[in-house]
Structure 1
C-alpha cells in the first residue's frame, strides 16, 4: 500500500473507518467525519471508497487509485491529485480550488457543480498545502473524456492539453480558462461562458467551431503575450548558452507566447523551452531541437522538414498538418553508454494530416497520439508501439518524395 510507514497507515485507516460509520449514522452518534487535511495519501489504493463530504484540504493524493470513488461535496481545496486515477469517480460539488490535477485520469467522472476557480492556502511551518501555492487550479494534460463538467465554476482554470473529447460542459463558466491545445472534439459547450478563454491550438470539430464562431468567439486567435520582437535576441543568447555549456548567454525559455510568423529555420534550439506557445505555421526546417520542450504548443502547419527532434518533448502539442518530412525523431543516449535512452515524446499529441515521410516513429512515445490521415513512408511506423495510438485507419503510405 505504497511506501508509507505502518503508523501513518493506521491513522489513515482509522479515519476512513470512522468516516464510513459517520456516513451510515449506524449506530447513531458513532463515527466522525474524516479530516485528513494536509495528510500524505499519495499512491494509496482507494478504489470505490466513499469519501462524501470528507475534509482533504491541502492533502496529497498524487498517484492514488480512486476509480469509482465517491467524493461528492468533499473539500479538496489546494490538494494534489496529479496522476491520480479517478476514472468514473463522483465529484459533484467538490471544492477543487487551487488544486493540482495535472495528468490525472478522470474519464467519465462526474464533476457537476464543482468549484475549480483560484484558491490558495498560505504555507506555514506546520503545514504546507500539496496543491498549487500560486492559487491556480491546474488540470494540465488530464484525461477528461466523456466527463460531466456541467455548471462547473472553472474561471481561469488551466486545462491546457486536456483531453475533453465528448465531455459535457453545459453551463460551465470557462471565463479566462486556458484551453491551449486541449481536445474538445464532440464536447458539449451549450450555454458555457468562454469570455477571455484561450483556445490556441485547441482541437475542435467543425460543428463546435462554427457554433463558437457564431457566438463571436475567436477560436484561432491566441490571446497570448506577443514576444515575437524579442525572439532574435533570445535566439542569439541561446546559441551562446549552448556553445558555452550554460556558462554564458541564457537558455531560451518562453511560455504562452504568441510567436506566429517567427522563423527558426536552421537555428540551434537544443534544450530550448517553448511550452504552451502559439507557433502555428512556424518554420523550424533544419533546426536542431534535441531535448527541447515544445509541449502543449500550437504547431499546426509548422515546418519541421529535416529538423532534429531527437528527445524532444511534444506532449499534447497540436501538430495537425505539420511537415515532418525527413525529421529525426530518435531517442537520445543521455548517459553515453546506451543504458538510458530518452525518447521523443508525442504522447497525447495530434498529428492529424501530418507529413511524416522519411521519418521514423519507432522509438517515439505514442500514448494517445492521434495519427489520423498521416502521410508516411514504408518505414515510418515500423517497429513503433501503436497499441495506444489513435486514428491509424486513415494512415497513408505515400512513398518517398
Structure 2
C-alpha cells in the first residue's frame, strides 16, 4: 500500500493515453492492493482497467466511468458512486458497504459475494447482472431495474425493495431472507413472489 503517488499518477496517465489512442500508445492500467484515497482520480478514466484489492473508501466518484474493468476484492466503503458506470465490470468480492450507488449502472456486471450492505442502489440499473451470494442486507433498492438479472443465494434481509422493476424477466433461482449463519432460503417461484410482494410495499 506504500506505492508512490507519482508512480500511480504516471500509470493513470498512461492508461488515459491507452484509451485515447485505442491501445496504440500508453499502457492499460493494472494495479493491485493500492490505497487510492489520496489520489485525485477526477481527470483519469478507470474503464477497461485491472484494479484489484484497491481502496476507494469514502471517495467521491459520482458519474465515474468504471465500465469493463476488473475490480475484484476492492473496497468502496461509504463512497459516493451516484450515477457511476460499472457496466460489464467484474465487482466480485468488492465491498460497497454504506456506499451511495444511486442511479448507477451495474448492467452485465458480475457480483459474486459482493457486499452491498446498507448501500443505496435506488434507481440503479442491474439489468442482466449476475448476483451470486451477493449481500444486499439493509440495502435500498427502490425502483432498481433487475430485468434479465440472475439471483442465486442472494441475501436480502432488511433490504428495501419498493418499486423493484423487471422481476418477471429476472432469473430468480434462490434468495436468502435469513442470515448467512441462519439461512432462510426461498427458491424459484416462491422467491419471485416474495420479491414481488416486497416491491409493492410502500415502506
1:339-379 per-residue CA deviation (whole Å, 9 max, x = no partner) reads xxxxxxxxxxxxx8xxxxxxxxxxxxxxxxx7xxxxxxxxx
> What is the SS of the residue equivalent to 1:36?
strand
Structure 2: 5+ residue runs without aligned partners?
A: 179-187, 196-201
Separation of aligned partners in 2, 1:181 and 1:43: 34
After TM superposition, which residue ranges in structure 1, 4 or more long, deviate above 6 angstroms? none
Give the alignment's TM-score, normalised by structure 2. Answer: 0.83
Q: Which of these two proteins has the greater Rg computed from alpha carbons?
A: 1
Separation of aligned partners in 1, 2:175 and 2:30: 35
**How large is the Cα RMSD of the aligned pairs?**
2.6
CA contact (8 A) 1:86 1:105 kept: yes
> What is the SS of the residue equivalent to 1:143?
coil
> What is the SS of the residue equivalent to 1:56?
strand
1:25 matches 2:21? yes
Q: State the structure with bigger RCO (CA 8 A, min sep 6), 1 or 2.
A: 2
Q: 1:11 to 1:48 in 2, by over 3 A?
A: closer
Instruction: Quote the residue 2:140 is aligned against.
Output: 163
1:271-306 per-residue CA deviation (whole Å, 9 max, x = no partner) reads xxxxxxxxxxxxxxxxxxxxxxxxxxxxxxxxxxxx
Separation of aligned partners in 2, 1:9 and 1:142: 29
1:55 matches 2:33? no
Deviation (angstroms), 1:172: 1.0
Deviation (angstroms), 1:58: 1.1
Instruction: Quote the residue 1:186 is aligned against.
Output: 163
Instruction: Quote the residue 1:14 is aligned against.
Output: 10
Separation of aligned partners in 1, 2:38 and 2:177: 33
Instruction: Quote the residue 1:243 is aligned against.
Output: none
Instruction: Quote the residue 1:72 is aligned against.
Output: 67
Separation of aligned partners in 2, 1:49 and 1:170: 31
1:83 matches 2:78? yes
Which of 24, 27, 30 is the equivalent residue of 1:35?
30
1:320-352 per-residue CA deviation (whole Å, 9 max, x = no partner) reads xxxxxxxxxxxxxxxxxxxxxxxxxxxxxxxx8
Deviation (angstroms), 1:163: 0.6
Deviation (angstroms), 1:193: 2.8
Deviation (angstroms), 1:89: 0.8
CA contact (8 A) 2:16 2:44 kept: no
Structure 1: 5+ residue runs without aligned partners?
A: 118-135, 201-213, 221-351, 353-369, 371-401
Deviation (angstroms), 1:100: 1.1
Which of 109, 112, 118 is the equivalent residue of 2:107?
112
Instruction: Quote the residue 1:219 is aligned against.
Output: 194
Deviation (angstroms), 1:165: 0.2
Map 1:1-400; keep pairs closer than 5 Å: 8-25=4-21, 29-42=24-37, 44-47=39-42, 49-117=44-112, 136-188=113-165, 189-199=167-177, 215-217=189-191, 219=194
CA contact (8 A) 1:49 1:70 kept: no
Instruction: Quote the residue 1:209 is aligned against.
Output: none
Separation of aligned partners in 2, 1:104 and 1:9: 25
Q: 1:13 to 1:48 in 2, by over 3 A?
A: closer
Deviation (angstroms), 1:45: 4.1
Q: Give the count of matched residue pairs.
A: 187
Separation of aligned partners in 2, 1:64 and 1:140: 17
Q: 1:65 to 1:43 in 2, by over 3 A?
A: farther
Deviation (angstroms), 1:72: 0.8
